[in-house]
Homo-oligomer: A and B are copies of this chain.
């Protein structure tokens, strides 16, 4: 079960700060490149940053930017393995979004 990081939209009226919090989380997902990153990781279980620029058709700095944004939002977890960075999905965080929209 996801943690209640966001107040559900439909059960009580969102305050300004609650709306800000949920909006930031949604913004983190609301980009095609980031959605594809999340989708890839959700399917493969994890992904190495080194493979993503080729798959996504974006430069290494751009991919790095999106990855760190997703980590900041709590959607991905980062793990350093040697010189590679691996990422996996924080499913509770996704769950908290769907819970807020339920």
Tell me the dominant secondary structure on chain A's binding face. Answer: helix
Kindly provide the distance from the CB of A76 to the nearest chain B CB, expressed in whole angstroms.
Answer: 13
A14–B30 touching, CB < 8 Å: no
Which 5 pairs from chain A and chain B are nearest by CB?
A26-B30, A19-B32, A10-B42, A14-B39, A98-B98
Write the nearest CB–CB distance from A27 to chain B, whole angstroms: 4
- A33 and chain B: residue at smallest CB distance: B19
Q: Report how far A15 CA is from B35 CA in the complex, Å.
A: 10
Interface status of A52 (Cβ within 8 A of chain B): no
A42 surroundings in chain B (CB, below 8 A): 9-10
In the bound assembly, the distance between CA atoms of A77 and B27 in angstroms comes to 23
User: Is A65 at the interface (CB under 8 A from chain B)?
Assistant: no
Of chain B, the residue at the smallest CB distance from A40 is B13
Shortest distance in angstroms between A40's beta carbon and chain B's nearest beta carbon? 6
- Which A residues from 2 to 27 make CB contacts under 8 A with B? 9-14, 16, 19-20, 22-23, 26-27
